[in-house]
Amino acid sequence: MKLLIDAGNTCIKWALVKEADWLRNGVVPIAQASELSHHFAAIKNIQQIWVSNVAGEEIAQHIRNIGTDKSGRLHFVVARQAQCGVRNGYANASQLGSDRWAALIAAWHLVQGKCLVVNSGTATTIDTLSGQGEFLGGLILPGVELMQRSLVAAAVQLKSAQGEYVPFPLNSADALYSGAIQASCGAIERQYTLLNDDSAPVVLSGGAAGLLQPYLNQKLFSVPPRIVDNLVLQGLLLMAQEANPL
C-alpha cells in the first residue's frame, strides 16, 4: 500500500492507494502538520510514501516523522528532465515545483495531448503541455484568496469582508472578490489564447477550481474546462507506478 501526500501552503492532501485502488483520502490543515504521525499511526501496512512538498523544511520534517514509524520507503519527489512521458522545459529542471510537475504528469496521462493545466490554491499556476508531452512553460500568480488578502494588508482604506462576484461591483468587498476572479480567469484565458488551438482542453484542479470554472469564457473552448480532483496526488501515483511497475 502507498501513502501519497501533497503538502501545499494551506493544507496537506493525502490518499491511501493499494495498486490502482484509492482506499481513502483526506485533508489536514497545514497548522496541524505536527499531528501527521499520529494521524497515520494506526495504518501498519504502508510500503511506500510518496510526497510532493512545497511547504518548507518544517513540514518536511513532520512528514519524515510518519516514515520513522513505517517500514516503507519515503520519497520526496523533485522535478526531473523527463518522467512518465513528460519532458521538462524548465531552464533548471529541479527548480520546477514538485506540485506542478506531478500535476503535469497526471494531466498528460489523462489527456495524452496538448493542454493547459491550472492548479489554483494559495497560488494559481497555469502550465502548458505540448502535443508531445513537453512542458512549454507556465505562470504563477496569487490565488483568489491571496490576492484579496494582500490588497487588504497593503491598502489602509480596504477592509476584509466577504464579497460576491458581480460584473460591475458597487462596493469594495465585491470589487476585491470580483477583481481576483477576473484576474485569475483572464490569465487562464490569455494563456489559452496563446496556445492557438481551441481543441486543447483545460484541466482545472485545486481548492479554487470550482470558483473559477463558472466565470471562464466558455466561448473560447471547444471542450468545457474540466475539474479533476487531486491532480497532484494522481501524478504522485503515476511516478510511484513507473518506479515500481510490479
Residue with cell 512528514: 63
Domain with residues 2-76, CATH architecture: 2-Layer Sandwich (3.30)
CA 144 – CA 76 distance, rounded (Å) = 28
Query: Does residue 197 carry a catalytic annotation?
Result: no
- DSSP annotation of 31 reads G
Write out pLDDT tens, residues 103-115. Answer: 999 999 999 999 9
Residue 5 CB partners (closer than 8 Å, separation 6+): 12, 13, 14, 49, 50, 51, 52, 53, 63, 236
Write out pLDDT tens, residues 121-134. Answer: 999 999 999 999 99
End-to-end CA distance of the chain: 12
Among the listed residues 21, 69, 99, 229, the single catalytic one is: 99
Write out pLDDT tens, residues 10-47. Answer: 999 999 999 888 999 999 999 999 988 888 888 888 88
Q: What is the pTM for the complete model shown?
A: 0.94
Binned at pLDDT 50, 70 and 90, residue 5 comes out as: very high
Axis-axis angle for helices 144-154, 172-195 (nearest 10): 130
Domain with residues 113-231, CATH architecture: 2-Layer Sandwich (3.30)
- Residue-level pLDDT at 235: 98
Q: Where are the domains of the chain?
A: 2-76, 113-231
CA 105 – CA 87 distance, rounded (Å) = 9
Residue 75 CB partners (closer than 8 Å, separation 6+): 48, 49, 50, 51, 239, 240, 243
Say how many C-beta atoms besides its own lie within 10 A of residue 145's C-beta.
16
Tell me, yes or no, if the two domains 2-76 and 113-231 fold the same way: yes
